[in-house]
Amino acid sequence: MMPALFFTLLILSIYPYLLFPLITYFLAKIGGKDWARSNTKKPISIIISVFNEEAVIREKIENTLELQYPSDLLEIIIVSDGSTDRTDQIVTSFKDPRIKLLSFSERKGKTACLNQVVPSAEGEILVFTDANSMFLAGTLLKFTENFGCEDIGLVTGWTKYRKPGGEKETVGLYALLEMLTKKAESRISSCVGADGAVFGLRKDLYRPLKDNDINDFVIPLNVIAQGKRVVLDPELYCIEQSCDNELKEFNRQVRITNRTLGAIGRNIEFLNPGTYGTFSFFLLSHKVIRLLSPFFVIGTAVIGLLLAAQSLFYAGVVIAQLLFFAIGVLGSFKLMNGRLPQLCSLFLLTLAAQFVGWIRWATGKSDTLWKPAR
């Protein structure tokens, strides 16, 4: 039984990061298809959620005003969730009539704010973004192209990062893998989740959320429940400055894990393939099994140690794991440079954050409020 359990846990450890992306890639090649696009322009409301963003909000508004889109079809709503710095003053310094500031004196959390703001938005399409996420000039045109297909209810992009002071965007291996996986899911049925920095949906599909819902995960679920598709357009992306503060990134990942686990528990019906078909398989693989990865990795290491005396193979797997983690630790402390240490460091940080997120969820802790990870 021990060897069988070892191999099961080993396969589950690599499944969400290697096997599942390969499966979706080949399924998309065999039976996937693109959706129709059109050049029809629709009224758009851009909703920018902010909390103490005085450092970047001016640049974000200027970036938004420069987007290629008819002025009479564009509304820009800045939602200030109890900001205590100069964010609100900077917003009001802009005199463009398209800009609207909705400021809350007390913190509510991003999701609670959206529930109050969305009903008053005038656009047929709602585009959600963050203060530090910069759009390309044609981003809104790209959104409306995708919404030319009536089956599409939500369109998400993805994020590229730029080093402080750098001019060239970089794409990490993890981000690239995530984008390609969602692209394949989209060509088959619907992708799992949206990128909170750049996604849009038809306003009439928005449903009020619970305050502790993670909006870029639950909003797509609500769209799918209404019979519409959620898709990723790989040509639709935003650009952010990379965050080199690993503690803030760790805390962000903990919060995401905690809130995602709660959302899955409240929406467990989406794991029923009889109702949601291939999307249930995607959700199970992309989210549930991936969030269980810390336990699979720990289990593989523990059983591997117990079996190490019986075979060099088990000892070799354990040594490989320890080496991987050692490189990750060295990469975290900047004692090793290069893509491999960065990848190992990111994977180690993600596993540790997921583990803590599980503990917070199991003990009833809820991470409703948010802070920019900068």
Same domain, 257 and 114: no
In this structure, is residue 50 part of a structural domain?
yes
Same domain, 181 and 127: yes
Q: What is the DSSP code string of 74-133?
A: EEEEEEEES--SSHHHHHHT---TTEEEEEESS---HHHHHHHHGGG---SEEEEEETT-
Taking only the tens place, the pLDDT of each residue in 115-158 is 999 999 999 999 999 999 999 999 999 999 999 999 999 999 99
What CATH number does the domain containing 84 carry? 3.90.550.10
In this structure, is residue 34 part of a structural domain?
no
Q: What is the pLDDT confidence band of residue 373, given thresholds at 50, 70 and 90?
A: low
Q: What is the mean pLDDT of the chain?
A: 93
Same domain, 231 and 251: no
Taking only the tens place, the pLDDT of each residue in 20-78 is 999 999 999 999 999 999 988 999 999 999 999 999 999 999 999 999 999 999 999 99
Taking only the tens place, the pLDDT of each residue in 150-179 is 999 999 999 998 876 655 666 677 889 999
Look-up: residue for tokens 């703001």? 117
Same domain, 108 and 78: yes
In this structure, is residue 142 part of a structural domain?
yes
In this structure, is residue 302 part of a structural domain?
yes
pTM of the predicted protein model: 0.93
Same domain, 15 and 139: no
In this structure, is residue 35 part of a structural domain?
no
Among 183, 209, 242, where does a domain finish? 242
Same domain, 228 and 296: no
Same domain, 221 and 318: no
User: For residues 241 and 10, which has the higher predicted lDDT (pLDDT)?
Assistant: 10
Taking only the tens place, the pLDDT of each residue in 241-300 is 876 678 888 999 999 999 999 999 999 999 999 999 999 999 999 999 999 999 999 999
Among 242, 275, 304, where does a domain finish? 242
Q: What is the pLDDT confidence band of residue 5, given thresholds at 50, 70 and 90?
A: very high
Domains contained in the chain, number: 2
Among 194, 212, 242, where does a domain finish? 242
Same domain, 15 and 114: no
Domain carrying residue 313: 1-29+243-374
- In angstroms, the CA 6 to CA 2 distance is 6
In this structure, is residue 371 part of a structural domain?
yes
Same domain, 104 and 253: no
In this structure, is residue 39 part of a structural domain?
no
Same domain, 122 and 228: yes
In this structure, is residue 38 part of a structural domain?
no
Q: What percent of the chain has pLDDT over 90?
A: 82
Same domain, 122 and 24: no
Same domain, 21 and 133: no
